[in-house]
Copies of this chain bind each other. A is one copy, B any other.
Amino acid sequence: MTPLRRNVLALLVRAGEPIKAYDLLDQMRSEDGSAKPPTVYRSLDFLMDVGLAHKVEALNAYIACAHCHDKGGAELYICGKCGSVDERHGAPEPRNAPDGFETERSVVEHYGLCAKCR
């Protein structure tokens, strides 16, 4: 874990909700000035590799992992109104899977309204 990566993680944590790569980049630039796209994408890739961050595929955005399990995909409940994300782990999919399919990675994202925003 390098200072750069730690900084990216801190920004993700501070955001508290999904944040776009280029918004992260803007925040980095306001301190550093020299940040460029590969800087932020490389740090995000690293953080996702080690399980400290997730990509929200349907939003093209990124969040800090709330569980730090380091393995196993998260299940995300994303409120479309307030932007909050509730992250759950370990939900064993109902094995609706085709016979013999071997899952390596799952993307599970639910969009809707959280209890507060209903």
Spell out A's residues near B (CB within 8 Å): 57-58, 75, 77, 79-80, 86, 88, 91-94, 96-115, 118
Contacts and interface: CB of A to CB of B under 8 A. Distances in A.
A97 B110 CA distance: 9
B114 A101 contact: yes
A92 B93 CA distance: 9
B107 A57 contact: yes
A86 B100 CA distance: 12
Contact of A115 (B58, B79, B101): B101
Contacts of A101: 77, 79, 86, 110, 112-115
Contacts of A58: 57, 107
